[in-house]
A and B are shown apart, each in its own frame.
Chain A
Amino acid sequence: MKKIPVYIAGAGIISALGSGLAATAAALRENSSAIVPLSLFPLVQGDSLPVGQVGGLEDMPELPRTHRLALTAARQAMQGRKNSPDAVIIGTTTGGMLESEQLLRHGIVDTASYRYHGLNTVAQVVGDDCGCRGPMLTVSTACSSGAVALTLALRMLRRGRAECVLVGGVDSLCRLTYFGFHSLQLVDRNGCRPLDKNRQGMAVAEGAAMLLLTNRRPQNPLAELLGAGLSCDAWHPAAPHPQGAGALAAMRTALADAGISPADIDYINLHGTGTRENDLAEAKAVRSLFPDPPPLSSIKGATGHSLAAAGAIEAVVAVLAVRQGLLPGTVGLEEPDRDLRLQPLRQGEEKNVDLVLSNSFGFGGNNGSLVIGRPRAVTSVAAAGACDPGWLTIHGASCLTGAGGRDATMEKLLAGESVAGRPADDQVSRGLDPGKIRRLKRLPRMALNLSRSAFAHCGPGNTPRSVFMGTGWGALSETHAFLERLAETDERFPSPTDFVGSVHNGPAGQVALMFEATGANITTSGGDYSFEQALIAADLMLDEDEAAFVLGADEYQENLSPLFDPSARGGANRADGGSAFVVSRSLPGGRCRVRSVFYGPGTTDMESLVQACGGQDYLQQRCRLILAGIPAAGSAAGEEQLRKFLARVRAVVPVFRYRRQIGEFASATAVAAVLAATILEKGDSADLSADGRPVFSGHDSIFVLGLGATITVMEFTRP
């Protein structure tokens, strides 16, 4: 089937090289390094390590540095545009971490101070700034985040779910990443020397890049995003596969997605971080795909490694290559490592190129490759019209709550009882190999437990290849342990284990390891709507004959949860847990079906919402039960939204406010999703809601609503 072309209509960039396309291109032509000793925050002791630090960032009151970097790049990309994008997708790992670290050290316990901590607040700030009325999604897959965000945007536009998407990656320097990579001995004290014989590691950096993508050919497109490929090594939490198997798979998938062969590629922008292992594994992968490689280079000796921003920054570098014929050199490279058997560009070149391959690889073996090219001539283009309904088949499900696993949880909920609480440690670790989970704290153990149970719940033959996990707050136990030890030891002895475990995509990476799931591996983080984001990602990525895990989980951490999550309840009301599903597009043997119907801001008008749900008639005929998720911190707005929605639907439908019974945690929605699936399978909602006891048949649906700051709708029905 011919793929709908996706154009890059605008681009913005800010990095250690400067701000804007022109400044970036000029700096790349100079072929010098912008890496300097850290000065952004004071160190307790010791010399500053070299970093890629952004100078002269505009001051924006109250907003954390990550958000300011993102806004700067976003405003450049949107310059001269009258219309708002239909969606915003941002890759980030740091969110408000730089500021939160400081607040935590000063013992600040005022929750309002942490309101921009969450990764999802970056997309919200950017989305609000450009007037986006649609989904604002956040992916956090370590150093491939930017490339993964672009992949989701490409899929969204090809499927006709949007006409215009603002997408990119951003991270600011912070202590977590600065000391974290140092603790892994991955930082080169002499600055970054990618592909060099004497390379000793990376330079941690910061920056942002945003691209405005559209499936409507603009007057003067900058470039075309032709293809994208994702893969997971499923090999090790932090080290790449030694033969570059995952890197190779990502590049292959990207080329196939673009419909081109390796010989068509004119330039490869390498991930090229400057660590011994990355550069070696990447070189092996490149050589096995390209017997005679085209010109290639890494810019990370100039910029440093801007982590979640890198994939987007280098997508902009690819745009510069096709627009201006600028092939940047590999700054820092003195003597190419012969073991790599590559001839990287040392100096920049000016050359006409049509097609560029850009690589981004990250922790958890998370790989993304993009193909960016000169816009092709318009042929008879298939219209980006008909939206497919996006149904996913559910084959198996599991959950963890204060009541325990799925059966115990469902029994209590259907009897009208609360399951809110924290599953006991031995419940969370049940069935897991103690040797394999010894380094894992609460959230990754939950993810392993959930995926294992969900897999056991489905019929044979559906081994998942891909993993999509939503988490509001990530691995808080590891994050807290890392920051606490860092502070206690005067920044001398940060824990490498805790750093590796602290990344948001750590738990999903563990699931991939357990199931050798080498397909896409995407972690989304959307606060109280994280599970919905994971479902959207799964829907965008899943091919016809493939099974995948979709998870949502969050942990309650004594110190951080009460500060970060405004809905979290302390004392006896502490709650956490989550769920996992095995899903496919249309493999046989499904228990029920689910689709993401709507995701948009809390200010969405009810008419649009009802239309998105299929209209008033559809809702009246099909909707037998509403499971409403109203976070405690957004209860006034949520109740008002619910009241207006019901008034607009004009139907008497029982409503179950599930957060009261499941607990106040970001992924409570994931448990509500298991509840919806269970009720449909049983055909009876028992004593769930005082509003009535619907019995289900035929085409009846359950709608799971997320309300408050964002409005989400998922529809569940029988197969």
Chain B
Amino acid sequence: MDTLIEELKIKLIDILNLADVSPEDMDADAQLVGGELGIDSIDVLEMVVMVEKDYGVVINSQEVGEKVFSSLNSLTAYIRDNRAEDA
């Protein structure tokens, strides 16, 4: 099991108040923004803040953002590739 993915699931449920969603319901390959979870542009901004605050990874352009937040897998990969070594 990928612990970073599992950690992100819990964080997203928390910061986006996905009250009726459990981590098991979340498909790491599924479309994240505009998908079944109802995640929209304000949520993207909230996720950008979380990624920087908790992982020290800055997402500062819309183009990058669109790729990063396309799925949980892409978000996990981006954080893994860009986080500081000891973070």
A→B interface (CB under 8 Å): 183-185, 236-239, 434-436, 438-439, 489, 492-497, 500
Take A435-B38, A489-B53 as given contacts and tell me if A496 and B45 are in contact as well, using a CB distance cutoff of 8 Å.
yes
Query: In the bound complex, what is the Cα–Cα distance between A495 and B17 (angstroms)?
Result: 13
Query: A491 to chain B: closest CB distance in Å?
Result: 12
Q: Given A237-B42, A496-B42, A497-B42: A438 and B49 within 8 A (CB)? A: no
Does residue B20 face the partner (Cβ distance < 8 Å to A)?
yes
Contact A497 B46 (CB under 8 A): yes
Distance between Cα atoms of A11 and B80 in the complex (Å): 58
Contact assessment for A492 and B46 in the assembled complex, using a CB-CB cutoff below 8 Å: no
User: Contact: A238 with B42, CB < 8 Å?
Assistant: yes
Question: Out of B38, B40, B49, which one reaches A183, CB within 8 Å?
Answer: B49
Check A435–B42 contact: CB distance below 8 A: no
Decide: A184 and B45 in contact? CB cutoff 8 A.
yes
Task: Please indicate the chain A residues that have their CB under 8 angstroms from the CB of B52 in the complex.
Answer: 493
**A495 x B46 contact (CB < 8 A):** yes
Q: How far is the CB of A426 from chain B (nearest CB, A)?
A: 12
Nearest residue, chain A, Cβ from B41: A239
Q: Which residues of B contact A238 (CB under 8 A)?
A: 42
How far apart are B65's CB and chain A's nearest CB, in angstroms? 9
CB pair B53–A492 under 8 Å, yes or no, is yes
We find that the number of chain B residues with CB closer than 8 angstroms to chain A is: 16
Q: Tell me how many residue pairs across A and B have CB atoms closer than 8 Å.
A: 40
With a cutoff of 8 Å between Cβ atoms, the chain B residues found around residue A495 in the complex are: 46, 49
Q: A239-B41, A493-B52, A493-B53 are in contact. Are A438 and B18 (CB under 8 A)?
A: yes
Q: Are A435 and B20 also in contact (CB < 8 A) when A237-B42, A496-B46 are?
A: yes
B43 surroundings in chain A (CB, below 8 A): 497
User: In whole angstroms, how far apart are the Cα atoms of A401 and B19 in the complex?
Assistant: 25
> In the bound complex, what is the Cα–Cα distance between A159 and B48 (angstroms)?
50
Option from A237, A434, A496, A497 in Cβ contact (under 8 Å) with B20: A434
A185 and B16 contacting across the interface, CB-CB below 8 Å: no
Known contacts A239-B41, A435-B38, A439-B42, A493 near B20 by CB under 8 Å = no
CB <8 Å contact, B38 and A185: no
By Cβ-Cβ distance, the 4 closest A-B pairs, closest first, are A496-B45, A438-B17, A434-B20, A493-B53
CB-CB nearest in chain B for A239: B41
CB-CB < 8 A to A436: which residues of B?
Answer: 38
Q: When A435-B38, A439-B42 are in contact, do A496 and B19 touch as well, CB less than 8 Å?
A: no
Shortest Cβ gap from B52 to chain A (Å): 7
CA distance A492 to B43 in the complex (A): 18
Do residues A500 and B17 form an inter-chain contact, with CB atoms below 8 A?
no
Q: Which residues of A contact B46 (CB under 8 A)?
A: 495-497
The proximity string for B residues 21-63 relative to A, scoring 1 for CB distances below 8 Å and 0 otherwise, is 0000000000000000010111101101100110000000000
B6 to chain A, nearest CB (A): 21
